[in-house]
Amino acid sequence: MQYQLPIVSRKEVAENTTEITLETKGHKSSFKAGQHLNLTLPELLFPDPKGGSRYLSVVLDPQNHGSISMVFRNSDSGFKKTLLSLPLGTKLDVDCCHGSFVVPENNSLPLVLIAGGVGVAPCISIIRSAIANKVL
């Protein structure tokens, strides 16, 4: 599903790592913990040979109505430099939801989640969702 969502916050969560939060009020999605989305910037302020879109993993649990957050490593890419420069309130195009890294329905087996760096983002989403649903 396609949405236009405004940036409501941006904060450094670790060295060279930023979390960006978009407001989702009034939008319903079929997001499942562990999935990712495609984020497209309205325009690039810095050149980027890969263009103005990237897939980013969501770090908040899907029960958190009203906002959705992604985390990424800061870099010299035009996309990330632009994303870090856009003022709060800027609307971004969001194509949600993608990926199959989700907890299987009716899962009764223990799960082991292994990740490094910002790859931990979908794991955080899965853990937060499990806590919210009282599965842990």
Cβ–Cβ < 8 Å for 78, 47: yes
| pLDDT, tens digit, 9 for 90 and up, residues 75-95 | 999 999 999 999 999 999 999
Does 11 or 31 have the greater pLDDT score? Answer: 11
Q: With 80 as the cut, is the pLDDT of residue 30 above it?
A: no
Q: Which of 8, 133, 18, 5 is nearest to 84 (CA)?
A: 18
Confidence of residue 54 (pLDDT cuts 50, 70, 90): very high
What does the pLDDT read at residue 61?
61
Confidence of residue 74 (pLDDT cuts 50, 70, 90): very high
H or E stretch at 11: strand 2-14
Average pLDDT for the chain: 85
Instruction: Please state the domain extents for the chain.
Output: 2-132
Thinking of the domain 2-132, which architecture would CATH place it in?
A: Beta Barrel (2.40)
